[in-house]
Amino acid sequence: MDSINQLLKPVTARVNSAGNLEIGGCDIVKLAEKYSTPLYVLDEATIRAVCSDYKKAFEAYPKVNMMFASKALCTMATSKLLHDEGFGFDVVSAGEIYTVYKAGVDMSKVLFNGNNKSLDELSLAIELNVGRISVDNFFELSLLNEVARSHNKVVDILLRITPGIECHTHKYIQTGHLDSKFGFDLTQTDDAVELILNEYSNLHLRGLHAHIGSQIFETSVYGDAIEILIKELARLDKKFGLKLDEINAGGGLGVKYTDDDCPPSVYAVADIIINRLNDCIKKYKIEPPSLFIEPGRSIISTAGVTLYTVGSSKQVPKGRKYVAIDGGMADNPRPSVYQAKYIAEIANKKEFSSLNTVTIAGRFCESGDILIKDINLPELEEGDILCVYNTGAYNYSMASNYNRVQKLAMVLVNNSQSDMIVKRETLDDLISHDEIPDRLKS
Ligand code: LLP
C-alpha cells in the first residue's frame, strides 16, 4: 500500500478557481499576503494522514510505541498535535524536552537521546520525569547514575548500540555504521551491562536502541537492525539473566523530495520490521519485546512547504538565469549542507504552461546559497510567490539567523483556516539577547 512519504506534495495541494495554488483549503497567494514571506506552511491533514499510515502499518504488532523525532521539527503546536495522534517523542536537548513539556505531552512517552547530554539536561529530564533515557556511552552511564542518585530516583534506560549497518544515504546522516560517534560498539555492551548491574544502582536497564541513519530508501536494513537488537537481547539474557523487554529501532524512513526519489512505503517498512521481529522472537526464544520507533522526517516533511517572494534576477550572458528570493540557506540549509534537491512551483501561475530553466538563488551573502539549481518554471517576475515543497522536516529546526535575518513565521492550515503557530522574529527579537558592557557605553 502507498503512504504519504511517497508523495511530493501535501495531500490537500490543488489549483483553486482563481488559478492559484491552494493547500489546506487556503489560497497560497493570500497566505503570503496575510503573513508575509518567507513563510513556513504546514498542512494538518497531511500530518494526520501520515500518523494514520504509521498506526495502521504497525497495528499487526501488539506492543508498539511510536515516537516522533523532534529534531525534525519542534514547536509546541506540532508537539500537541502529534501527542493527540498518540505519538510519544524522541528529544535530544533541554530545549526539545521543555517544548514538549510545555505543550502538555505525557512525559512518560518521551525518550531522551544524544551523544553528549549535559548534567543540566539530564537533571531536567529526571525532574520532568522523562520516560526513558537512551544512554550513549560510558561517561554518560556514570554521569546519569550520579544525577539520578542526587534526585533519589531510579531511571529507566536503553543502551544505544552501534549495529554496524551501512545504509546508502548522505554520509553526514549515516549513524549506524561501526566508525560512528553514536552508541556503544557491540564489543562494549557487556562492560556497560556489568557496570549497570554491579555499580550503577540508580539505573534500570530496560532494553536496547539502534538508529541506522536518515533518508533511507532500502528496506532490508531495518530487518537487519531488528535481528542485531534481538540477538543481543537474547545473548544478554543468557549471559546475565537479564530480561530486557524493549527495543528501539530508531527512525530513518526517506521521503520524496523530487521525482527521482523513490522511498518505500511505511507499510513495506513495517512489514519488514514486524516479520523479522516475529521470526527473531521464535529463533532466539525470547518473550515479545515492546517495539519503539522514532521517525522524524517521514512524519512531517511532506506536510511542509515554504513560500518565498521573487525579487531580483540576473541573466549571466551565455550562462544561467538566477532568480533571487527573499529567503534561502538560513531558513533551509539542506541544499548547501547536503546538496539536497527540492521542487517548487509558482503559486500564482499554476495555469501557465511555457517553462524556462532558472536557478533559484537565496538572499544570503554566499555564492553557495542556491536553493534550487536548474528548475523549469513559468516566466518569473518580481512579486511572484514561489512554493518550495517538502520543507516540513529539518528546515525550521536547522534554521539560523545568518546575516542577522529574522527567523520565519510558521502557519498551520486546515479546512480553509490558517493559524500562526510560530511568530515571525522581529528586529527587536534579534537584539534581545545582546548586551553592551558599561565600559563601552561612554
Ligand atoms: N532517532 C535518532 C537517534 C536520530 O538520530 C534521528 C535522526 C532520528 C531518530 C530521526 O530520523 P529521521 O526519521 O528523521 O530520518 N539534518 C539531516 C537529518 C539528520 C538526522 C539525524 N538523526 C537532514 O536534514 O537530512
- Render pLDDT for 97-148 as a digit per residue (tens, 0 to 9): 999 999 999 999 999 999 999 999 999 999 999 999 999 999 999 999 999 9
Does the C-beta of 167 come closer than 6 Å to ligand 1? no
Q: Residues 366, 405: contact at Cβ < 8 Å?
A: no
| Residue 147 burial (CB count, 10 A) | 24
Q: Is 24 exposed, middle or buried (0-12, 13-18, 19+ CB in 10 A)?
A: buried
User: 214 CA to middle of ligand 1, Å?
Assistant: 5
Q: Is 69 in the pocket of ligand 1 (CB under 6 A)?
A: yes
Catalytic-residue membership of 365: yes
Q: Closest ligand 1 atom to the C-alpha of 175?
A: 5
**Pocket of ligand 1 contains residue 296 by CB under 6 Å:** yes
Confidence class for position 442, pLDDT limits 50, 70, 90: confident
pLDDT value, residue 353 = 73
CA atoms of 436 and 353, how far apart (whole Å): 55
337 lines ligand 1 (CB under 6 A): no
> Is the CB of residue 294 below 6 angstroms from any atom belonging to ligand 1?
yes
Q: 44-300 architecture in CATH?
A: Alpha-Beta Barrel (3.20)
Testing ligand 1's pocket by substitution, the residue of 214, 390, 400 carrying the most ligand atoms inside 8 A of its CB is 214
- Is the predicted pLDDT of residue 351 greater than 80, yes or no? no
The pLDDT of residue 175: 66
Q: Is 26 in the pocket of ligand 1 (CB under 6 A)?
A: no
pLDDT digits (tens, 9 = 90+) for 291-327: 999 999 999 999 999 999 999 999 999 999 999 999 9
Which one has a higher pLDDT value, 349 or 228?
228
List the catalytic residue out of 51, 167, 262, 365.
365
Domain boundaries, the chain: 4-42+303-431, 44-300
CATH class of the domain defined by 4-42+303-431: mainly beta
Strand 184-185 and strand 155-162: the pairing is parallel
- Ligand 1 center to 295 CA (angstroms): 8
pTM of the full structure:
0.96
Q: Which atom of ligand 1 is nearest to the CA of 113?
A: 3
> What local confidence, expressed as pLDDT, does residue 170 receive?
62
What angle do helix axes 189-198 and 138-150 make, rounded to 10 degrees? 20
Mean of pLDDT values over 335-349: 95
Q: Which of 65, 71, 216 to mutate to test the pocket of ligand 1 (most atoms within 8 A of CB)?
A: 71
Closest ligand 1 atom to 251 CA: 13
Measured CA to CA, the distance from residue 119 to residue 417 in angstroms comes to 43
How far apart, in whole angstroms, are the C-alpha atoms of residue 27 and residue 413? 10
Q: Answer yes or no: same fold for 4-42+303-431 and 44-300.
A: no
What is the average pLDDT across 173-183? 74
Please give the mean pLDDT across all residues of the chain.
96
